[in-house]
Structure 1
Amino acid sequence: MPHQEHLPQARRQFAHRSSLRGAQAWLAALTCAVVLLLLAACPALAAEGSAPSTLRAEAVRGTGWNDTAPPAEGWTPVALPDSWATRWPGFDGVVWYRLTWEQPEQAREAGLLLHYLNMAGEVSLNGTTISRDESLVEPLTRAWNTPRYWLLAPPLLKTGTNTLLVRVSGLFAYQAGLGPVSLGTPAAMQAKFDGERLVRRDLQVLGLAVSAAASAFFAALWLLRRRETAYGWFALMSVLWLVFGYNQIATSPWPFASNHAWQALNTSTLLVFSVSYVVFALRFCGRRMPRLELAALLLAAAGVLDLWLAPVADLIEHRAIWTMLGGLTVIAVNGISIVHALRHRDSPMRPLAPFMAISALTGAHDLLVFTQVIDSNTYYTTMSSYVLLLGMALTLAAQFVKSLKRIENFNTELIEEVNAAKAELAATLAQQHALELAHARIGERVNLVSDLHDGLGGMLVGSIATLEHKPDNLGAPELLAMLKRLRDDLRLIIDATGDDHGARALGELLVPMRHRSAQLLDANGIDCRWEVSGIETLELPPSQSLDLMRFLQEALTNALKHSASRRVDVKVARAGAELQLSVRDDGRGFAVEDQTAGAGLRSLRTRARRLGAELHLQSRPGETRVALRMPLAG
């Protein structure tokens, strides 16, 4: 019969070592509990050794698949459980088993338990049929893992000699024969039957149901997290194990017409499962071994092709070889994973090592059953699969608890980080504020120096030039006028550094400066001509007005100090949303591109930037022009 291997289940675990140790303790405890449950639920282990001494068993070969009655001669005593492959090698067909016992007169009823028959059969008591499988010829009913129980009572059960006749249709390659038969009190036989059904059917169905749920769950996890390839391989393993384990409860070889094809499918599934198990174990440990994986895949593919292309006569040997190879591969993966978990404390296999040990033990047991070293047909790996799923669930639960704790601590960590960020930001803002304050003070000082240079400086230059030009012709009134002009210029600076609520028209501010500059230029023999238009009602903030006044003042001072010109033309005009200023002289000119320009040109450029205006400088011998174009706010 087919060998069943376990479905190991796992997932990479990154929990702290303390969480791992706690999870391992729970895993070990649950493992022991499940093992004890399995042992307690397996009375067949003690009962399968031999048939009860009250029953006498004989067997005889039938003459054909459609026999309806046993031969009269050729009966041979047998011991149950019986596999006829050793007695009649290569025989496929019908074997009749006859069991007789003496029923005491005082016993009114008895319980009869037939643990299994392989592959399909018909049972009659004292000539009355009490059980018959659906198909007694190929495709045979697969009743090999089905226990049967009857409550016998008169008139079916009679006092004295009773004869139980069992017709078994089977194939020698799959351990064809009859299992143990137990006779006793109804209560005792019912209890034995319940234990047999639990092991052979109920736990098998439970294992398959858990495998189906695991395949769906881990397939969904893999679809949501494609980088977790271990999830995908585990889902594939679960599906393959579901197909392979279905052999334990299947009652028909459908959709195939023979049990040989069914067994080829079963062994092929085991081979592919073993390869998937190898890849899963590597992915779960975060490793890749392309050559090993490719070799395993090619070997499995060769096995599958061999199973499906081999002649039916050779299928038995081929199936045995590939089944052993697949089973040993899974056992080897379990063993290597356990060794890795023991040698590496941080191995993700560590919490699953106890479950893999159970898987290795049950797999070894089932291989011994498959090779008939152990005289039984009870397989345990399908039942052990849900134990491994339990380990997988606990592994994921430990990971979930760790994540939940991190989520619970997230608010506290976030508040601490926010407070730290706020403190750091406050310190940075305080430092930035201090720097801005210092920068503002320096800027104010620079502006004040620039205003003094362009205003008082220009007035002083003009006054000095006047004194040098007419040292003997200046009386007290002229000197007093010079001092008043200096006072007016100083007042202009003071007004501009105050608030912006006392805005005055630009034309009104331009009148005294125009008068003063014309006097200075005339006193030095320079003809100054003004053209002013559109600014009589133009009001600007005092700071802008001062910058404009200082711009004009510096341009005129430069013409007075450096140009040696005889004529200066000044134009101040409003053109739509733009204010245009220009100062033109006929002096010697200067190099506009000179990077070593004096404080006057630097002041002109600085004020243009502060006003958001465009500055244009053009100069050549005989003509120098300084122009400013400033956009006006709406």
Structure 2
Amino acid sequence: MPHREHRPQEGPSHAHHARSRLATARAWLVTSIGALLFLLFTVTAAMAQQPPPPALHVEAARATGWDDTTPPADGWTPVTLPDSWADRWPGFDGVVWYRLTWEQPAQVREAGLLLHYLNMAGEVSLNGTTISRDESLVEPLTRAWNVPRQWLLAPPLLKPGGTNTLLVRVSGLFAYQAGLGPVSLGTPAAMQAEYAREQFVRRDLQVLGLAVSAAVSAFFAALWLLRRRETAYGWFAVMSVLWLLFGYNQIATSPWPFAGNHSWQALNTSLFLAFSVSYIVFALRFCAWRMPRLEAAALLVALAGVLDLWFTSGQSLPVHRAVWTLVGGLTIIAVNSASIVHALRHRASPMRSLAPFMAVSAATAAHDLLVFTQVIDSNIYYTTMSSYVLLLGMALTQAARFVKSLERIENFNTELIEEVNAAKSELASTLAQQHALELAHARIGERVNLASDLHDGLGGMLVGSIATLERTPANLSAPELLAMLKSLRDDLRLIIEATGRHDGARAFGELLAPLRHRTSQLLDANGIDCRWQVSNLETLELPPSQSLDLLRFLQEALTNVLKHSAGRRVDVAVTRDGAELQLSVRDDGRGFVVDGADKAAGSGLRSLRARARRLGAELQLQSRPGETQLALRMPLVPTA
């Protein structure tokens, strides 16, 4: 029978353990929720037990002069913070006193006080004791408009259970939203947290934006110097530098090097106009557009604004500054809007990567213009803080371009490798075909050379032997026929030795002697007197191929004399003259026409010319009735 696996059944103990673990988990969850609810209830109760911050009663009064050190006795007007006196006292430049009073509960022994900002400079005192004072309360005023202040108030400075008075002396210019910002009173911890937030928004983010602008402007300036044709990068660097100088207004605490804030604001607005022009040119260059008329018009408008700002008197400068600030701000909004529309309409537009960041820039620019025109009751400007958003967009765009360039390079490398491999295959095929052709040509050349050697050697010997047999067939004895056959054998051996494996040099004189003997006998047998002149060949050694070509040259020349000249004498000279070997064959035959000699004489002269070319020698041919001469001059290569 097959074996059956035994599986234990879950008994009551297993089910009991499972129910126990489930109950434990539920109890732990209920306990955790209860502890969390108790903690929330405790915190809420503690916060409810804390007394609310006391209510502040705020009044304001104008001083009679810039140097007033005590508040006026009358003329106090209730105000609400934040307060700007431009509407209440239009055209007033000077000092305004703010008096804040509150009833401090007796059970609260210390409190935190936060003054968000005052514009431009001021002095703060609590219950007659000065707790803060800016460096300059007259022109050039300290530019403290973006500096939050915090104090910890405790006895005897603070009066628990009594009336406390905070006096703020503000020195300002109505054109720049002079007044007092919000004042908060509460626990030290709450005021510390609120002060940290104010410091972060009003100072830290501004400094961060300027630092990023400086770094990015340096980066794109260096990028433009390396790639001059990328003019958009150069204009972006110029734009970033101008924005850096303009944004410094957010953290500057003094109008130095000017003697007043009017000149400082004229410079600041001039930088803003220059920035707007560079922003236009940058957007056009980034889209690879050229609009010289628009650029010239923008430059002329900016130049007119700068001249107007610097030649306007101090009293009317605020109005002109407001107008030109609106012109610059609206220009920036228009450029951002046009770029966004262009990016939406054209998929291939490079602005598509910058469009989201330009949308943020347009929104912050619109907000700041509303703050500048006091439509929004605030003095916090977000454009400087959001400037690094556009810089970040440019950095991301540049990184995307870099990645695309790397991808193009990688694709190019891949295509190049494929093309190189294809070219290598084609080249290998071509080389194989060329090699096959060279082998075929080499075989044909070997056959031609062999045929030429047979023609010039054996052919000449056969012609001579046939001529001898035809002249005196009955007078030839058996030894003479045997000598003819041996001559043919020796000539064939010479061909074999020259075309074989023997590549070493051979003494040319030793090879010439048998040929001289055979040809002399052959010519004498046919009634031709052959005379030889051989000199300086004792030490001449030549490669077998050269020796064979020289011997065949002589043999073919003498065969031609035998076959065609009908002469009675032939003179042969073989001499070595320094680094040159000279061969000469001269007969007294009927001669021939030298022009077109190759065609007239057939293969004999063509063979002579071919051998002269292979030897690198100079061949001279002269012929007239009664005298024909072949001369060969071959340079000798010195041996190592």
Query: Within 5 A, what are the aligned runs for 1:121-136?
Result: 121-136=122-137
Kept in 1: contact 2:598–2:606 (CA 8 A): no
5+ long unaligned stretches in structure 2: 1-52
Query: Contact between 2:370 and 2:376, CA under 8 Å: does it hold in 1?
Result: yes
- Distance in 2, Cα, partners of 1:138 & 1:301: 28
Report what 1:615 is aligned to. 619
SS in 2 for 1:74: coil
Q: 1:421 Cα shift?
A: 5.9
- Provide the rounded CA distance (Å) in 2 between the counterparts of 1:463 and 1:299: 114
8 Å contact kept, 2:574–2:582: yes
Structure whose CA Rg is larger: 2
For the Cα contact (< 8 Å) 2:279–2:332, is it kept in 1? yes
Secondary structure of the structure 2 residue equivalent to 1:169: strand
Instruction: Report the TM-score, using the length of structure 2 for normalisation.
Output: 0.83
- Is the alpha carbon distance of 1:103 and 1:53 closer, same or farther for their aligned partners in structure 2, counting shifts above 3 Å? closer
Deviates more, 1:62-71 or 1:362-371: 62-71
Whole-Å Cα distance in 1 between the matches of residues 560 and 296 of structure 2?
Answer: 89
How far 1:75 sits from its partner (Å)? 2.5
Task: Deviation per CA, 1:193-244: give whole Å up to 9, x if none.
Answer: 2111111001111111111221222223333333433333322222222111
Hey, what's the Cα distance between the residues in 1 that align with 2:151 and 2:577? 118
Pair 1:53–1:275, CA change in 2 (3 A):
farther
Give the CA deviation at 1:586: 4.0
Cα deviation, 1:506-540, whole Å, max 9, x if unaligned, reads: 11111121122223333444332221112223222
Q: Secondary structure at the match of 2:608?
A: helix
Q: Kindly tell me: are residues 175 and 619 of structure 1, through their superposed partners in 2, closer, same or farther at Cα, counting changes over 3 Å?
A: farther
The aligned residue for residue 604 of structure 1 is 608
CA separation of 1:295 and 1:469: change in aligned 2, threshold 3 A: farther
Mapped contact 2:584–2:629 kept (Cα < 8 A): no
Q: Which residue of 2 aligns with 1:138?
A: 139
- Rate the CA distance shift 1:513–1:305 in 2: closer, same or farther, 3 A: farther
CA change 1:438–1:97 in 2 (3 A) is same
d(CA) in 2 for partners of 1:427, 1:295 = 66
Q: Which residue of 608, 611, 632 corresponds with 1:627?
A: 632
**CA contact under 8 A between 2:529 and 2:570: conserved in structure 1?**
yes
Give the Cα separation in 2 of the matches to 1:334 and 1:435: 71
State whether residues 585 and 625 of structure 1, in contact with CA within 8 Å, keep that contact through their aligned partners in structure 2.
no
- Counterpart code for 1:126: N
Q: 1:258 is matched with which residue: 257, 260, 270?
A: 260
Q: 1:357-436 maps to which residues of 2 (within 5 A)?
A: 357-399=359-401, 423-436=425-438
Alpha-carbon distance between aligned partners in 2 of 1:137 and 1:586, rounded to the nearest angstrom? 132
Name the SS of the counterpart of 1:313 in structure 2: coil
Deviation at 1:464, TM superposition (A): 4.0
User: Which letter maps to 1:630?
Assistant: P
2:19 is matched with: none
Alignment of 1:58-97 (within 5 A): 58-97=59-98
Give, in whole Å, the separation in 1 of the partners of 2:412 and 2:553. Answer: 61
Instruction: Report the counterpart of residue 590 of structure 1 in structure 2.
Output: 593
Q: Which residue of 2 aligns with 1:168?
A: 170
| Deviation at residue 115 of structure 1 after TM alignment | 1.4
Pairing 1:91-130 to 2, within 5 Å after superposition: 91-130=92-131
SS in structure 1 of the partner of residue 541 of structure 2: coil
Answer whether contact 2:54 2:185 (CA < 8 A) is retained.
Answer: no
Residues 387 and 575 of structure 1, relative CA distance in 2, 3 Å threshold? same
Q: Distance in 2 between matches of 1:458 and 1:579?
A: 24
In structure 2, what residue type is equivalent to 1:65? W
Equivalence for 1:500: 502
Question: Which amino acid letter does the alignment assign opposite residue 160 of structure 1?
Answer: G
Residue 136 of structure 1, CA deviation? 1.1
Distance in 2, matches of 1:172 and 1:119, equals: 10
Shift of the 198–476 alpha-carbon distance from structure 1 to 2, 3 Å rule, reads: same
Aligned to 2:512: 510
Distance 1:476 1:297 in 2: 121
- Cα separation, 2, equivalents of 1:274 and 1:526: 112
**Secondary structure at the residue paired with 1:312?**
coil
Asked if the contact 2:83–2:181 (Cα under 8 Å) also holds between the matched residues in 1, the reply is yes
> Aligned residue for 2:317?
315
The structure showing larger relative contact order (alpha-carbon pairs under 8 Å, at least 6 residues apart) is 1
**1:604 and 1:307, CA in 2 relative to 1: closer, same or farther beyond 3 A?**
farther
- Map 1:223-372; keep pairs closer than 5 Å: 223-372=225-374
The answer (yes or no) to whether the contact 1:116–1:180 under 8 Å persists in 2 is yes
| Residue identity matched to 2:608 | L
More displaced 10-residue stretch of structure 1: 300-309 or 370-379? 300-309
Q: Structure 1's 190 and 607: CA in aligned 2 closer, same or farther, altered over 3 A?
A: same
2:635 maps to a residue whose letter is M
User: Contact 2:143–2:253 at 8 Å: present in 1 too?
Assistant: yes
Structure 1 residues 298 and 605: CA distance shift in structure 2, 3 A: farther
1:197 corresponds to which residue? 199
Give 3-state SS (helix, strand or coil) of 1:609's partner.
helix
For residues 246-288 of structure 1, what are the alpha-carbon distances to aligned partners after superposition, in whole Å with 9 as ceiling and x for unaligned?
1110101112222122112212222222222223233333444
Q: Which deviates further from its counterpart, 241-250 or 585-594?
A: 585-594
- 2:211 maps to what in 1? 209
Deviations 1:602-624 (A, max 9, x none): 22232222223333344455343
**Cα contact 2:54–2:102 (8 A) shared by 1:** no
* Distance in 1, Cα, partners of 2:293 & 2:226: 29
Give the counterpart letter for 2:249 in structure 1: N
Does the Cα contact within 8 Å between 2:617 and 2:632 map onto a contact in 1?
Answer: no
Q: CA deviation at 1:462?
A: 3.0
Structure 1 residue 402: Cα displacement: 5.9
Whole-angstrom distance in 2 between the partners of 1:87 and 1:160: 32
Does the 8 A contact of 1:583 with 1:627 survive in 2? no
Deviation at 1:322, TM superposition (A): 2.4
- d(CA) in 1 for partners of 2:423 and 2:312? 73
Letter of the 2:115 counterpart: L
- The amino acid across from 2:116 in the alignment is H
SS in 2 for 1:101: strand
Task: Give the partner amino acid of 1:441.
Answer: R
Given the two structures, how large is their TM-score scaled by the length of structure 1?
A: 0.84
CA distance in 1, matches of 2:392, 2:296: 31
CA distance in 2, matches of 1:432, 1:460: 39
Q: Runs of 5+ in structure 1 lacking a partner?
A: 1-51
Matched, 1:461 2:463: yes
Q: Deviations over 1:103-148 (max 9, x none)?
A: 3333322222221111111112222211111111111111111111
Q: Deviations over 1:5-56 (max 9, x none)?
A: xxxxxxxxxxxxxxxxxxxxxxxxxxxxxxxxxxxxxxxxxxxxxxx99223
Contact 2:148 2:198 in 1 (8 A): yes
Q: Contact 1:525–1:566 (CA<8 Å) still a contact in 2?
A: yes
